Structure 1
Amino acid sequence: MTQLPPRALSKSELVYRELRDRIISGRITAGYRLVLDKIAKDLGVSTVPVREAIRRLEAEKLVTFTPNVGAEVASIDVHDYADAMQTLAVLEGVATALAAAHITREQLDQAGATNDQMRMLAEGNFDPRLFTDLNQRFHQQLCHACPNRYLNEILDREWERVSVIRRNTFAFEPVRSLTSVQEHDHILTLLRSGSGAEEVERAARAHKLRALNQFMQSRPAS
């Protein structure tokens, strides 16, 4: 049976992907105004696909629209971070538990190597941006062994959201870094030893919540 060639992406989809990538990567940050005419000119399209793309980004809470002001890259505060981390704690706990029966020794070794890189940073010249990126990679390496593709799609979006929040507001807390690496070691030990899914889930969830609690305790009282 002859396969049809893949359908070309619409202009709206192309604009959406480009703007989303700029936000996720930090090339445009909180408060940046998204001027339809300028974006349309830069990308060689009309304002219609730009408007459609911005509406999608607004639905993802990456963009806000204010009357008489227009569209801007969303500003994100500590409460957004807390909500996102609580969500990740639940999702990562479930995904890591589901991954336990499917993850290979090679995948565990790759996650272990990532954690070793984090350990070197925590014990040496700490780079908060690199540590944060490696931390996300570690959890992705574990969770992507989860057979539930829908859950992984949700996780990918939440990881990106937390990445945007950290890039626009704060980096990984240095005081937490070595403890985080040690907790990663514990999760890897559970997975390598074939521990039960419930124990793995508790450990992964508690790890995320401890990171959140550490951050909240370090914030000055308002």
Structure 2
Amino acid sequence: MARQPLTEVVAPGTAGALSKSQRAYAWIKERITSQEFTPGYRLVLSALADDLGMSVVPVREAIRQLEAEGLVTFKRNVGAHVSMVDDSQYRHSMQTLAILEGAATALSARRLSAADVRSAREVNARMIDALDQFDPPAFTRLNQQFHSILYQHCDNPRMLELVDAEWARLGHLRASTFSFVPGRAQESVREHENIVRLIEAGAALAEIERAAREHRFATLDAYMTRERPEQSLGGPAHDPHPTGGTQ
């Protein structure tokens, strides 16, 4: 398979500002999240280094970082592989994202401008238009764009870093949850409008956080109900709301 040049992955004008390990990290991660490197794919350091035009050392550093994020698995005498996917990983990432994104959205709410709110509504309108000829991956990209508008002004950089990391991890675990539960898409856009209305009305931050969090949990519940009925909301296997139910 033809490799995408590094210059097409790193934003123009920024490549020179990144270290070699950062460039390698961005290049490899992009291929994992786009599923060019699929679960189980063997990551041969020397081959990656040749593709990137650098030594093995920065590639090894990038692999270690990706291993810390759970995207890569490394075993002695076996080497590095793109991590395999199971439903528990997906569930844990969705639970984590629900909590982090809910908090980030609340912390960002008071900083959103009228233009930001308008942009969020425009993206949601595009999502509604896309329901007729449904393309789950495209819908998921719009979904991420919508949410990033709402949490972008969170003044906690560490929280933003974690939210972005979980979005990337979900991209590796599932190309689109909506491929599995397409009916959830219509409910999702309605919930989007509710979150925007709460922000617009200056609702209590706790209420905004709850709405954003429960929106994410609802998608998880829909998926688990279809794929693993015994693990859905109210099932014996787990509580998808680890903070104590629908708060």
On whether the aligned pair clears a TM of 0.5, the verdict is: yes
In the other structure, the counterpart of 1:71 is 80
Identify, as 1 or 2, the structure richer in helix: 1
Match of 2:69 among 60, 69, 77: 60
Q: Does 1:216 align with 2:227?
A: no
1:7-52, Cα deviation, whole Å (9 max, x unpaired): 8543323222221222123221211111122112222222222222
State the number of aligned residues.
Answer: 216
Q: Aligned-pair RMSD on alpha carbons?
A: 2.0
Distance 1:61 1:199 in 2: 32
Match of 1:20 among 23, 29, 43: 29
Match of 2:100 among 86, 91, 113: 91
Q: Does 1:176 align with 2:161?
A: no
Distance 1:168 1:208 in 2: 14
Long gaps (5+) in structure 2? 1-14, 231-247
Q: Secondary structure at the match of 1:27?
A: coil
Return closer, same or farther for 1:183/1:8 CA change in 2, 3 Å cut-off: closer
Distance 2:18 2:109 in 1: 36
Q: Secondary structure at the match of 1:110?
A: helix
Q: Secondary structure at the match of 1:173?
A: coil
Q: Which runs of 4+ in 1 moved over 3 A?
A: 6-10, 168-172
Q: Secondary structure at the match of 2:101?
A: helix
Long gaps (5+) in structure 1? 1-5
One-letter amino acid of the counterpart of residue 56, structure 2: T
Query: Which is bigger in relative contact order (C-alpha 8 A, separation at least 6)?
Result: 1
Q: Is the 8 A contact 1:129 1:172 kept in 2?
A: no
In the other structure, the counterpart of 1:157 is 165
Distance 1:174 1:141 in 2: 23
Q: Is the 8 A contact 2:137 2:176 kept in 1?
A: no
**Alpha-carbon distance, 1:221 to partner:** 5.3
1:133-159, Cα deviation, whole Å (9 max, x unpaired): 111111101000222222112111111
**Alpha-carbon distance, 1:69 to partner:** 2.4
In the other structure, the counterpart of 1:130 is 138
Q: Secondary structure at the match of 2:25?
A: helix
Identity %: 46
Distance 1:20 1:210 in 2: 28
Distance 1:168 1:37 in 2: 32
Q: Is the 8 A contact 2:178 2:184 kept in 1?
A: no
In the other structure, the counterpart of 1:200 is 208
Q: Is the 8 A contact 1:93 1:201 kept in 2?
A: yes
Q: Is the 8 A contact 1:166 1:172 kept in 2?
A: no
Q: Does 1:111 align with 2:120?
A: yes
In the other structure, the counterpart of 1:82 is 91
Distance 2:124 2:165 in 1: 22
Q: Does 1:101 align with 2:121?
A: no
Distance 1:191 1:11 in 2: 41
1:33-89, Cα deviation, whole Å (9 max, x unpaired): 111221122222222222222111111111101233211111121111110111111
Return closer, same or farther for 1:10/1:186 CA change in 2, 3 Å cut-off: closer
**Alpha-carbon distance, 1:106 to partner:** 0.5
